Structure 1
Amino acid sequence: MRKFLRIASVSLVSFTPAALAQSTPSEFAELSFQALLDIDINESDSEQSSPNKWSFAVQLKAAEFDGYKVNDSDVSLDDVLFSFGQEARTSSNFPVVPTVIKQHAKIVQLGYQVNERLKLGIQAPFIHQQTDHISVVPGYEHFVISSSGLGDIALSASYALEDNSEFSWWVTAGLSLPTGSIDEQGDTPRDAGDQQLPYTMQLGSGTYDFPIEVSYQNKGEHAFTVTLSAMLRTGTNDRNYRLGNNYKLSGKYNFPLSQSTALFTGAAFGYSESIHGQDDEITIGGNYSYPASITNPNLYGGKRVNIIGGISFIPIHWLKVVADISKPVYQNLNGPQPQELWRAGLQFSMLY
């Protein structure tokens, strides 16, 4: 049993560079790798993991955003929506306002354990996002935009600095490839026909990025995991911007119910930067060039604290199922910015 848990849960060790604050689909897929760090540390360490083993995992993730915040204060849709003829246009109100944002991702992951200390992985996300809008533009009082496709593929290498019967230290470094589209188009009030969509609808970052992570797992009677991670962006994409760096500190505590079932709970603190640069194609002319908050690169990023809960279950020796849900308890956002309501995930890990 331990052999399976070691390989299937760690060989694709998760990146946790949180999709913090208002998240693009690319950032949402990055956060979804966290569950792969889960290790059952209550079993005996006497059985050694066999090298040269393949593992396969599929994760299904969902998140929803609704409502707005400026810093840590709630603001209403009426505050964010510009009312023509009733108020002055400012940098904090907009003729177009996203209302409900829904994100879904399926992440397929393949891992290979080179030896007891080194594990390699590759993960490919398939993303779908749908955003409802309201606006003051005639004919677009209510409209929906969606985008779907392959996100940024990531390669990873995980190395155990120490791994014994009491605790382990793992370091992971990776490379995220710009395989996700940043040229998604749709019908918006900005002009007739399809136009370039804002950052929240693009499937990739458009840059080569570097996820890194350090994690500690205690294997004693009180099993817990602490993880420090980051996603570091490089360069500028061909639309003259790059997403902000993300940083996260998270912890998780396990409550074993039996040899095959465990509950877990935890918390995470994350910080993300705003977007650097700007895609000029999603702006308009005039004194106020941003038709919606999601077109302003400065209205991304912020701080968030989430609480996490879930269950892991091993129905058969070669399959592990993990379900989790996360909800913010504190958000301080560069706003006005859509706030996150919840995230949920379901993961299936298999050993070959």
Structure 2
Amino acid sequence: MKKHIYALLLAATQIIFAQEENKWSGARPDGHAPISVMGDHTHGKGEVMFSYRYMYMNMDELNRGSENVPFSNALRPNDIYMVTPTSMPMNMHMLGAMYAPSDKITLVGMVNYLSSEMDHVTAMGGSFTTQSSGFGDTKVSALYKFFNKNTQQLHAQVGLSIPTGSIDEEDVTPASSPNEVILPYPMQIGSGTWDAELALTYLKQWGTLSFGSQARTTLRTGKNDNNYRLGNKYSINNWVAVKALDWLSFSGRIELGAIDKIEGINPVLNPMMVITADTANSGMTYANAGLGFNLYAFKGNLKDLRLGFEAALPVFQNMNGVQLRTKETLTLGLQYAL
């Protein structure tokens, strides 16, 4: 009789371990997506994770539609504008926290701080720079895990973007000196609207290989206090990662996306002064490609600490009107789970 009981206990133990081994595992370097992807993973009940990300994005040169054009193409007498931007580097610092009250639900919160500069040239041959900085919109969301089995996971994200970022940033321009005037749409810190953020993420792992796919959208609601709303965003991210070592993985990512035009007009802005004040020059479709790596401490005093890095470049950009081209985007981040 005892032999039968031992046999049953051994069989049950093997089944439990087999089920655990057949789950998507976060305890490997490719257990998280490339660091630029948000909401890519969930946590088990009671787990907490803190994260910091730094992102640098550079915009330079002009596109009219999908064609690169010289700055003179956007200025009088070739076009209606008196001023065009020539470059816009942006820095973003993001602090995030995740907590799982259950195995099915993970709660997420994120705050960010942005700083931007925009260089300009005028139709008269002059040049100047404007700057803006401050805390952006606050993000809160919940991730719901539908399943995790057969080394596959599917989860959804439902979130809210809270308009804590400024939409009244000002600086001095040659036409306004010595007074400050409100800056155009790309130089504002926040959206000014309460926005829904939705995503669906699928994950799959093999022995040394993993795959992920995420569809994401940001849906703007109403109009802000300056009588406009930013365009809705839509994107699909797909990535593949290779586990080179227990503590190192390399990833490749491709993103396809679209951004709608700005709706409404800030009545304070003159759309004929600078191209960034004209809402006709907003919205685009694009494709980006990124390469990166993840470092993962799987044991020792730093266990469950991660470092991720990714460099991304545009593959394709088709803009409404004339806009600055997006160039390189660099993302570096730390994640620590408790």
Fold match, TM over 0.5? yes
Decide whether the 8 Å contact of 2:160 with 2:197 is kept in 1. yes
Once residues 290 and 205 of structure 1 are traced to their aligned partners in structure 2, the CA distance between those partners, rounded to angstroms, is 23
Decide whether the 8 Å contact of 1:4 with 1:351 is kept in 2. no
Once residues 185 and 72 of structure 2 are traced to their aligned partners in structure 1, the CA distance between those partners, rounded to angstroms, is 23
Choose the corresponding residue for 1:169, options 154, 173, 178.
154
Decide whether the 8 Å contact of 1:229 with 1:247 is kept in 2. yes
Task: Kindly state the Cα deviation for residue 223 of structure 1 after the two structures are TM-superposed.
Answer: 1.2
Residue pairs, 1:1-352, within 5 angstroms: 9=32, 34-35=37-38, 37=40, 50-82=44-76, 87=77, 90-91=79-80, 94-136=81-123, 141-192=126-177, 193-221=179-207, 222-283=209-270, 289-315=271-297, 316-352=302-338
Decide whether the 8 Å contact of 1:155 with 1:174 is kept in 2. yes
2:295 maps to amino acid = F
1:185 maps to amino acid = E
Task: Kindly state the Cα deviation for residue 164 of structure 1 after the two structures are TM-superposed.
Answer: 1.8
SS of equivalent residue, structure 1 residue 78: helix
Once residues 9 and 123 of structure 1 are traced to their aligned partners in structure 2, the CA distance between those partners, rounded to angstroms, is 17
Root-mean-square deviation (CA, aligned residues, Å) is: 2.1
SS of equivalent residue, structure 2 residue 320: strand
SS of equivalent residue, structure 2 residue 268: helix
Decide whether the 8 Å contact of 2:28 with 2:247 is kept in 1. no
Render the CA deviation track for 1:232-260: whole Å, top value 9, x for unaligned: 00000000000000000110001111111
Decide whether the 8 Å contact of 2:132 with 2:187 is kept in 1. yes
Task: Kindly state the Cα deviation for residue 33 of structure 1 after the two structures are TM-superposed.
Answer: 5.8
Q: Percent identical across equivalent pairs?
A: 23
Render the CA deviation track for 1:162-196: whole Å, top value 9, x for unaligned: 11242010100100000000010001234231001
Task: Kindly state the Cα deviation for residue 335 of structure 1 after the two structures are TM-superposed.
Answer: 2.1
1:159 maps to amino acid = Y
SS of equivalent residue, structure 1 residue 79: helix
SS of equivalent residue, structure 2 residue 159: strand
Once residues 136 and 112 of structure 1 are traced to their aligned partners in structure 2, the CA distance between those partners, rounded to angstroms, is 53
Relative to the length of structure 1, the TM-score reads 0.82
Structure 2 stretches lacking a partner, 5+ long = 1-24
Task: Kindly state the Cα deviation for residue 50 of structure 1 after the two structures are TM-superposed.
Answer: 4.4
Decide whether the 8 Å contact of 2:39 with 2:157 is kept in 1. no
Task: Kindly state the Cα deviation for residue 38 of structure 1 after the two structures are TM-superposed.
Answer: 6.1
Distance change >3 Å, CA 206–CA 5, structure 1 → 2: farther
Decide whether the 8 Å contact of 1:320 with 1:349 is kept in 2. yes
Once residues 134 and 54 of structure 1 are traced to their aligned partners in structure 2, the CA distance between those partners, rounded to angstroms, is 48
Render the CA deviation track for 1:84-132: whole Å, top value 9, x for unaligned: xxx36x34xx211111100100000011111111100110010000111
Once residues 267 and 97 of structure 1 are traced to their aligned partners in structure 2, the CA distance between those partners, rounded to angstroms, is 30
SS of equivalent residue, structure 1 residue 34: coil
Once residues 65 and 72 of structure 1 are traced to their aligned partners in structure 2, the CA distance between those partners, rounded to angstroms, is 15
Distance change >3 Å, CA 217–CA 50, structure 1 → 2: closer
Decide whether the 8 Å contact of 1:167 with 1:220 is kept in 2. no
Work out which of the two has the higher radius of gyration on C-alpha atoms and give 1 or 2: 2
Decide whether the 8 Å contact of 1:9 with 1:36 is kept in 2. no
Once residues 237 and 317 of structure 1 are traced to their aligned partners in structure 2, the CA distance between those partners, rounded to angstroms, is 45
Give structure 1 regions of 4+ aligned residues with deviation exceeding 4 angstroms. Answer: 2-6
